Structures are given as structure tokens and as C-alpha cells.
Chain A
């Protein structure tokens, strides 16, 4: 059985100007021990997907339908109290901006120590501090940095501290939402190394959310590509990178920085659509270089092609 099984998930933000369908019918399976990269531009719904798994979609957003089955339990049906026991203990999460994701007025050790106290692992503050020190060490920071405040740490060190807190209770699943976007390239690689190492040591499953398809390609087993709230392609990393079926995936690959991380080869012209009123048919058709008449009229279903899934009329014609 898959560790995580998302079925037809819909997450809408209910604004005064209408519902924004940030995630609109996404289905995704993640096996135990996998490393799945979820890729898309900003506004593709990938971060909302991550927050939905944690049941932390901020208002006016709400999970409007579908299910998220984690280890046999549908998270969308849990009470808030039951969900809280899963957050931080069975699913850990790391966020984009390490500068803003730590509480500026509390010591690092206390912030990490919270998880031990909250989930009943430590019974006293001293014990929580000691365990927090161990977690820091696991994330490659000195044990005695529990006494430091966030402003005394660099960006990379803060991300390590955040990772330490997220994996402190050895969760089965770690969701990393753009964990390195705010960091420079060298630190970026070190943080990714750390996540990979922790994954191996703790036997975690990792979902990496990123806009950077080359970063996702580096360590993932599978890659999921999202566009305008839809999953458009999902498959083993080699297949997706070598032979992308969806024109959007192809566009992402072509616009990715080259090996030297320098210049962008080719961008995708245009902008993602307004998710209050998505275009009819395939949502990508206004920007698609190979759009046909059918793409304007009919929404392409997500279809299994070999060991991957794709939602594109053109790709289905090709096979």
C-alpha cells in the first residue's frame, strides 16, 4: 500500500471575487521510501497541495473535496486534535524562507523542544532541551546552539535548525516546500545533501516542492508536474526528464538553467491563467506551442502511459 494516496483533491480559496481553484482534482500516489519532486511555476498549486496534506491551508482556503489517505487513514476526515498528533510526529514540514520561519524571540532549542513536549516524548523542559540538542546535531549544527537566537544564525544554519525541528520525531514523511530557494547555490547543495542523508538514516519518504525542475531531477525517484491547479505529468524521473510527454514539462526543462546554473535557454511565453476563471479545455492551451482545436474544447484526462501519467491530447495522439 502506498504511504500517501491523494485522490481527486480540490482546494479552493473562497474570495469575494469567486473561488480560486488552487488545487483542482489532483490525484497522486507516493510509495514508502520514495523521493517525489513536485514541480511547477508559482501559482501552480504545488504549495497549496503541500499545505493541504498538513491540513494547514490558510483561510479563506478550504479543502473542498477529495481525499488524502496517509498510511491507510484519510486525513481530510480527522478531527483537528487527531490531525495535530500527526503534524510534526508522523509528517514533518520544512518551509521556504528560513529567515522568517523561526520565531525571532525564542531560543532555537525551545522551538525544537516544543515538538518533544507536545507529542509527549519529553516530560520536562530540560529533557526537551537535551533532545533538541541531539536533533541539532543530527542536522549538522553544534549541540549547544540550543541557546542561540535565530538572528545569530545564517540562512543555511537556520534552515538546518528548521529541518532539525521537522525531523526531530523521525516522521515517516517529510514535505520540503522550496527549502533552498532563499539560499545561495553552495548552501543549497549542502541542505539537499542533509535532507538526503536524513532520509536514508531515518527511512523517511520525501516530497520536495520546487519550481526548479533540475533541482527536483537531481535526487527524486519520481517527478510530478503541476500546472494551474492540475497534475499534468507524473512519472519516473529519468523518463520525465529524458522524454517529457507534456509540452509544459518540456517548456520547464528548456527554461531551466543549464548545467552551469547560468543562463536560461528558453522561457515559456505567457502567464499562468486566472484560477477563478480557468480557460476551457486544457488549461495550458493558451500558452501551448502545439495546441490543437481539441485542446481548446475538451479537458484532457490524466491517462496512464506505460509507467507514467499524463494529461495531454497531443501526447496521447503520439502514442
Chain B
């Protein structure tokens, strides 16, 4: 286990440059390209130069760029994302802190849905290789990837909210339901406090967004599971299991265990797409996470908020890929650490 700890430590060190590079790219895009963000925020209105100067000073934008670069990095590492350029005196960190759990809840649920759908459809295709069903699953794998998330979202809202009245069209919790906020992940908070009414309500709100996100992202898993599993099903050890009288169900389970190892690697690559998809999903379902925050602040040209949100995205990407690496090391005994 000491080996595993070392492996995790090395992996953790390796994500630091990734996050730094992303931070730098974000900094260049949002601080260097726009020239004077304050003027951009104020738009075409005439504002006296002293006011602009004062505003720049307040936000620390009058310092040389390289000073701003390290300054901002230092503060971000201490959880300080500066102040909103639009809503005076509002620390961005407070907004982010409120919204991060919502995004994490959505991403986790969407991820689970996509993996389950992908494994299910991919397994069907592999077991019935060459059949009509296999062909249908192949089309599923290609077509779901090309679905535009807000489109799927609106169709689902139309069906399940407007026509059938089964599920809410947006938001995270009904106004009538009260919930004691602990982690900010509502389904989890409801479970911790044993608040079943709130749990059911939060889950109801989560179903459509999570399904939308999961459906669109399940295609690559379908393809991957299909090819891997049909390869594994033809391997010698599957024959060995059968020759010992194991029932097909069990053989399939062992085959899946082998076939899913490469899928875990893919989950790491999928994170970026998952988070991108979450931005659109949140905006479609008015889910109060980082994505809808980004949407809101872009229309206000609140560059400080945009920058903060994107830096948080960079951190999440880094941390999640670390988690994937660790999972991989745990499930594949052949990895030497």
C-alpha cells in the first residue's frame, strides 16, 4: 500500500503543471486580450476617466500584468476570487461556493447515467454481435453524441413537465420544501438529515437534467464497451470459465470486469466533455450551478466572475483526472506503482 500512496502522490504532483498552464491560458484570454475590462463592462456610456481609474485600482487592474498574474494566483489558492465587477462588494468566492455543489451533483448524476446507459447498450450490442440489435446500438452510439443538449432538454421538458406534469421543468428544489444546507449537494443533504420529502423533491428536479446529460454522453461508452466486450468474450479465459460449468450470467460479469478497465481510462477524457455538457444542461434547466452562473455573468460582462468560474473548472478537471488515475490503479492489478 506504500506503493499506492507513492503512486497517488506522483500523480497529484503531475496535475499541478496542467492546472498552472490552464490558469495561464485563462489569464491571457481574460486579462490580456480584452485590454481594459472596466471600460468593456461600462460599455458605451460615457464615464469620467477618474471613475474608471478608481475602479481599476479597486479591482487591482492598474498593476503590471505579471504582478496581477501572481497576485491573482496567490489569492485564488487562498480561496479569494476577487470582487464582482457588476455587483459591487460581492465576493465572487461566495457565489462560486454556493454553485459548485450544484454542478458537482449534476455532473455526478449525469456521469452515472451515461456510464450505466453506455454499459447497458454496449453489452447488448456485444452479446448480440452482428444482429439487428447490434446495428441499432451502433447507430445509438453515433447519434446520441450528435444530440444538442438544450434541444434534448426542451423536448424532455415539453413531454414530462408541460404535458405529463410528472417532473419539474427546472431548478433544484421546490420553493415549498425546506432543506438544511450542509454540503450543498441537495440529495446528499436530504439523506444526511433524513429529510425524505426534500430528498424526493431534489431527486425529481435532478432526473431530467441528469438524464439529458447522461444520454448525450453515453454514446462513446456504448462504442467502447461494445468493442472491448466482444474482444474479451472471444478470449481464452472466457472459454476456460465456460469449461468449468459457470453460467453465462457469471461469465458475462467477469468479462465485463475486464472490458471495463479501458473504459475507466476513457472516463478521464470524458470529464472535459461532461463539464462542457453540464454548462449547457444547467442553462437549459435553470440549474443554479457554475454553468448558468457563467451564462448570467457573460451577459453582464463580469470578467472577474467569468475568470473565477473558469479557473474553478480548471481545478475540477485536474482533480477529477487524478481521481480517475487512482481508480484505474485500484481496479487493475497489473498496474505497478
A contacts with B: majority SS: loop
Q: How far is the CA of A160 from the CA of B239 in the complex (A)?
A: 17
**Segment of A95-103, A214-222, A280-288 in the binding face:** A95-103
Cβ–Cβ contact B243 & A103, under 8 A: no
Cβ–Cβ contact A87 & B240, under 8 A: no
Q: A16 → chain B, closest Cβ, in Å? A: 11
Which of A100, A102, A114, A151 is the one whose CB lies under 8 Å from B334?
Answer: A151
Q: B131 → chain A, closest Cβ, in Å? A: 11
Knowing A95-B236, A97-B236 touch, does A105 contact B243 (C-beta < 8 A)?
Answer: no
Size range of the chain B interface in the assembly: 20 to 34
Knowing A149-B334, A151-B334 touch, does A104 contact B258 (C-beta < 8 A)?
Answer: yes
Q: How far is the CA of A115 from the CA of B237 in the complex (A)?
A: 14
- Tell me whether A166 is interfacial, beta carbon within 8 Å: yes
- Tell me whether B29 is interfacial, beta carbon within 8 Å: no
- Tell me whether A246 is interfacial, beta carbon within 8 Å: no
Q: How far is the CA of A102 from the CA of B333 in the complex (A)?
A: 14
Q: How far is the CA of A114 from the CA of B240 in the complex (A)?
A: 11
List the A side residues contacting B333 at CB < 8 Å: 104-105, 149, 151
Cβ–Cβ contact A100 & B235, under 8 A: yes
Q: Within residues 86 to 110 of chain A, which ones have a CB less than 8 A from any CB in chain B?
A: 86-89, 92-93, 95-97, 100-106
Q: Within residues 239 to 266 of chain B, which ones have a CB less than 8 A from any CB in chain A?
A: 239-247, 250, 254, 257-258, 261
Q: How far is the CA of A115 from the CA of B261 in the complex (A)?
A: 25
Q: B259 → chain A, closest Cβ, in Å? A: 10
Q: A19 → chain B, closest Cβ, in Å? A: 18
List the B side residues contacting A155 at CB < 8 Å: none
Q: How far is the CA of A112 from the CA of B1 in the complex (A)?
A: 26
- Tell me whether B332 is interfacial, beta carbon within 8 Å: yes
Q: How far is the CA of A165 from the CA of B237 in the complex (A)?
A: 12
List the B side residues contacting A54 at CB < 8 Å: 242-243
Q: Within residues 152 to 168 of chain A, which ones have a CB less than 8 A from any CB in chain B?
A: 162, 165-166
Q: How far is the CA of A230 from the CA of B56 in the complex (A)?
A: 92
Q: Within residues 42 to 71 of chain B, which ones have a CB less than 8 A from any CB in chain A?
A: none
List the A side residues contacting B254 at CB < 8 Å: 103, 106
List the B side residues contacting A62 at CB < 8 Å: none
Cβ–Cβ contact B236 & A87, under 8 A: no
Q: How far is the CA of A118 from the CA of B246 in the complex (A)?
A: 6
Instruction: List the B residue with the shortest CB-CB distance to A80.
Output: B248
Enumerate chain A interface residues (CB-CB to B < 8 A): 54, 56, 58, 84-89, 92-93, 95-97, 100-106, 114-115, 118-119, 149, 151, 162, 165-166
Apart from the given pairs A100-B237, A118-B250, 7 other A-B contacts in the complex at a CB distance below 8 Å: A54-B243, A84-B245, A84-B246, A87-B243, A105-B331, A105-B332, A115-B244
